[in-house]
């Protein structure tokens, strides 16, 4: 028998999530559903009918078996906060995403609704209660792993028991990290999770019945331990500079005003803008002959930018903008680059690793892409693309372009000797005051920037420590002189941050629970044109040192077909592989947006529909 008896009338059925059955005679109530396979085994515990399914939260591992409830007569109850995620999942996937879209981090969704709408017969608010067959369940909001997750608490045989979803796993661990990241590095999800743990601590719980992993006996010490860990972790997770408070005073202690309003001179040939709460992106190397190379250009009002350029021509000797070099994928660093190309004849350059998400943003589901800002720019084409490590000479300046991830893997560092100083243009990878020991320099930690720490802040810190720059010119008008001590703290705390992720992860390698892209479809938005067909690639990454077996079933809505539909392969250690996929639909398929999922089995263990992609029929 697959069931484990938890109490006299509570059973655990192991699936892609733990499915719990509360039994009353021949009737049953389910907490979460998984694949729905539990329905095939109910007779083993003497149940002939399921009357209710109570979902703890909306994730597909909980809900993907919903179609199997058809004709069973079972009713469904969901958290009120997440009702729309159950009933209208397509409202949370966009062909044209925007920074302000609900449940996104700058346009990249952090919710994972099912591909099939789920009609709720009942919703529960955060302090509701529900009685079934004389069994009373208290509904307690325990958001954190999901924005409206509920725990259901009951007293059985004199003992308090809680069905807690994915708020905590055995060992004070987290099921995933990427589900808890709700904003751009400001810890909203962490605070919600921390406070949810505090709510559960108030109950004298004998057992916690989580959605994944073993049952947690006498969970109070583990709840306290996880809260303590989150509190310490959060000190490292939050930005390592004084964002929105004292940062304006640290932003630039180097430059001096010029004769052009708000344009400041860093060294003889280096210029930037400076002003109160002024965060646009723009650094300029101005050669003796009046030609300019701009590093990043974004977040400006065009009228202000054009006026400033005109005055620079009049007063600083600017004659021609030759180049705008883009440091990384985010739209706020490149949205005005096409304007400089159109109006001032500039070419747009970058490095090979930056090209794809900027030139093909609809192919990805990353944060803050160029198409999410509402500026009418859907993509940007580049005039020149460097390879990693390329060195070039421009107007007598010898400059090198290196891969330097940090905030995102799609990033570069431009560096060279300018006016006797080793200058590094670092994009959004490091900010802060070198003289303030409380600042460690890192920008937001956001998994949906694609930035595992080994390909993020750890890499950036080691790179900068080796480079030993005299001057950092960061994004958003930052200038940081003598940054060696800041770089030392940057590396030290990036390594500590990794240690905390490892401590929180139920996986041996934290990257499996941190990264939301280890299996993905590229393009993320698959457009089926006039021939009702498209080609995509299924991308699979293995973080383990040894080869692993990976199986992915492509789960499509009615009317679609994938060839192959099931992929089983070995993925070499520490590597990424991709498989071509042909996707088609019938002529009768409804035009518009559809949602598909990737049902993953890794090393023989099925995880369910962890990740998704979008289909568009034109």
Contact of 66 with 74, CB cutoff 8 Å: no
- The residues near 112 (Cβ < 8 Å, ≥ 6 apart) are 58, 59, 60, 179, 610, 611, 612
Q: How confident is the model at residue 156 (pLDDT cuts 50, 70, 90)?
A: confident
Residues 312/282, Cβ–Cβ less than 8 Å: no
Closest CA to 506 of 231, 196, 226, 148: 226
Please provide the CATH number assigned to the domain covering 250-504.
Answer: 3.60.15.10
Average pLDDT of the residues of the chain? 97
Cβ-based neighbour number of residue 587 at 10 Å: 6
The predicted structure's pLDDT at residue 321:
98
Common-topology check for domains 250-504 and 518-617 = no
What is the model's pTM? Answer: 0.96
Contact predicate 237/187, CB 8 Å: yes
93 has pLDDT over 90: yes
Does pLDDT of 242 surpass 70? Answer: yes
Q: How far is C-alpha 346 from the geometric centre of its chain's CA atoms?
A: 33
Q: Determine the Cα–Cα distance for residues 322 and 383; give it in Å rounded to an integer.
A: 11
The per-residue pLDDT for range 245-304, each reduced to its tens digit, is: 999 999 999 999 999 999 999 999 999 999 998 999 999 999 999 999 999 999 999 999
Reported as a single tens digit per residue, the pLDDT across 335-376 is: 999 999 999 999 999 999 999 999 999 999 999 999 999 999
Pairing state of beta strands 421-427 and 478-481? unpaired
Pairing of β 320-325 and β 291-298: parallel
Identify the DSSP state of 387. P
Instruction: Tell me how far apart the 2 most distant CA atoms of the chain are, in Å.
Output: 89
Q: Please report where in the chains the tokens 């006016």 appear, as a residue.
A: 419
**pLDDT for the residue 115:** 96
Task: Mark out the alpha helices in 260-336 (DSSP H runs).
Answer: 302-315
The answer regarding whether domain 518-617 maps to CATH 2.60.40.10 reads yes
- Percent of the chain exceeding pLDDT 70 equals 100
- Residue 277 structure tokens: 């709460």
Q: In 10 A of CB 614, how many CB atoms?
A: 20
Read off the tokens for 541.
């990454």
Q: Write the CATH number of the domain with boundaries 4-237.
A: 3.60.15.10
- Do 580 and 563 meet the contact criterion of CB atoms below 8 Å apart? no
The answer to whether residues 13 and 41 touch, using CB atoms and an 8 Å cutoff, is: yes
Contact yes or no for 452/514 (Cβ under 8 A): yes
| pLDDT recorded at residue 157 | 83
**Do 246 and 200 contact (CB within 8 A), yes or no?**
no
Whose CA is closest to 576, among 608, 612, 544, 601? Answer: 544
Q: Which residues are CB-contacts of 499 (< 8 A; sequence separation ≥ 6)?
A: none
Among the listed residues 521, 182, 515, the one whose alpha carbon sits nearest the alpha carbon of residue 362: 521
- Per residue in 159-170, pLDDT (tens digit) is 999 999 999 999
Q: Which residue has the tokens 């492509």?
A: 554
Nearest to 220 by CA among 276, 172, 181, 275: 172
- The answer to whether residues 389 and 471 touch, using CB atoms and an 8 Å cutoff, is no
* 48 φ, ψ (degrees, to nearest 5): -110, -15
Q: Is the pLDDT of residue 1 over 70?
A: no
- Taking CA atoms, 574 is separated from 384, 508, 542, 571, 589, in Å, by 31, 15, 5, 9, 39
**Residue 424 binned pLDDT confidence (cut-offs 50, 70, 90):** very high
Domain ranges of the chain: 4-237, 250-504, 518-617
- Whether 562 contacts 583, CB under 8 Å: yes
Per-residue pLDDT tens digits for 474-532: 999 999 999 999 999 999 999 999 999 999 999 999 999 999 999 999 999 999 988 89
Find all residues with CB under 8 Å of 303, minimum gap 6, and list them: none
Distance (Å, whole) CA 296 – CA 117: 43
Please state the rounded mean pLDDT for residues 553-558. Answer: 97
Q: What was the pLDDT predicted at 260?
A: 98
Q: Following DSSP, what letter does each residue of 75-141 receive, concatenated?
A: EEEEEGGGHHHHH-GGGG--SS--TT-TTEETTEE-----SS----SEEE-TT-EEEETTEEEEEEE
């Amino acid at each position: 028998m697959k069931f484990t008896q938890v109490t006299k009338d509570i059973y655990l059925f192991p699936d892609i999530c733990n499915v719990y059955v509360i039994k009353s005679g021949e009737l049953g109530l389910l907490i979460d559903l998984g694949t729905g396979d539990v329905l095939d085994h109910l007779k083993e515990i003497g149940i002939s009918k399921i009357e209710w399914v109570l979902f703890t939260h909306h994730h597909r591992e909980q809900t993907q078996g919903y179609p199997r409830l058809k004709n069973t007569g079972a009713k469904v109850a969901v958290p009120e906060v997440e009702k729309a995620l159950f009933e209208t999942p397509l409202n949370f996937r966009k062909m044209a995403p925007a920074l302000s879209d609900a449940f996104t981090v700058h346009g990249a969704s952090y919710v994972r609704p099912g591909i099939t709408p789920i009609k709720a017969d009942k919703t529960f608010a955060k302090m509701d209660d529900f009685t079934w067959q004389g069994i009373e369940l208290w509904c307690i909001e325990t958001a954190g792993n999901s924005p409206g997750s509920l725990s259901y608490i009951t007293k059985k045989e004199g003992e308090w028991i809680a069905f807690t979803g994915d708020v905590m796993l055995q060992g004070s661990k987290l099921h995933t990290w990427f589900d808890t990241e709700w904003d751009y590095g400001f810890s909203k999800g962490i605070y919600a999770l921390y406070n949810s743990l505090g709510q559960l601590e108030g109950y004298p719980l004998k057992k916690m019945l989580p959605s994944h992993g073993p049952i947690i006996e006498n969970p109070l010490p583990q709840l306290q331990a996880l809260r303590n860990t989150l509190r310490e972790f959060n000190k490292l997770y939050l930005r390592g500079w004084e964002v929105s408070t004292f940062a304006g005073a640290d932003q630039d202690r180097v430059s001096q005003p010029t004769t052009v309003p708000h344009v400041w001179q860093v060294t003889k040939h280096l210029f930037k803008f400076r002003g109160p709460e002024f965060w646009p992106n723009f650094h300029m190397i101005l050669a003796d002959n009046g030609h300019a190379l701009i590093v990043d250009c974004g977040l400006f009002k065009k009228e202000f930018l054009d006026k400033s350029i005109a005055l620079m021509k009049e007063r600083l000797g600017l004659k021609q903008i030759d180049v705008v070099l883009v440091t990384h994928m985010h739209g706020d660093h490149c949205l005005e680059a096409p304007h400089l190309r159109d109006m001032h004849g500039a070419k747009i350059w970058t490095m090979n690793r930056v090209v794809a998400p900027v030139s093909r943003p609809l192919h990805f589901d990353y944060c803050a892409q160029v198409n999410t800002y509402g500026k009418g720019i859907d993509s940007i084409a580049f005039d020149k693309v460097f390879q990693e490590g390329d060195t070039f000479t421009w107007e007598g300046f010898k400059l090198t372009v290196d891969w330097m991830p940090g905030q995102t893997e799609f990033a570069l560092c431009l560096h060279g000797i300018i006016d006797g100083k080793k200058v590094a243009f670092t994009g959004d990878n490091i900010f802060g005051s070198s003289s303030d020991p409380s600042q460690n320099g890192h920008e937001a930690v956001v998994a949906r920037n694609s930035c595992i720490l080994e390909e993020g802040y750890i890499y950036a810190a080691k790179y900068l420590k080796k480079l030993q720059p005299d001057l950092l010119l960061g994004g958003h008008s930052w200038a940081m002189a003598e940054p060696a001590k800041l770089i030392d703290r940057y590396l030290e705390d990036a390594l500590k941050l990794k240690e905390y992720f490892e401590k929180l992860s139920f996986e041996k390698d934290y990257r499996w629970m941190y990264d939301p892209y280890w299996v993905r479809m590229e393009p993320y938005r698959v457009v089926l044109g006039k021939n009702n067909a498209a080609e995509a690639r299924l991308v699979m990454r293995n973080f383990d040192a040894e080869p692993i077996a990976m199986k992915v079933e492509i789960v499509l809505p009615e009317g679609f077909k994938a060839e192959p539909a099931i992929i089983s392969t070995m993925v070499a250690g520490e590597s990424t592989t991709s498989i071509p996929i042909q996707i088609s639909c019938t002529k009768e398929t409804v035009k518009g947006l559809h949602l598909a999922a990737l049902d993953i089995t890794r090393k023989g263990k099925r995880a369910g529909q962890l990740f998704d992609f979008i289909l568009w029929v034109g």
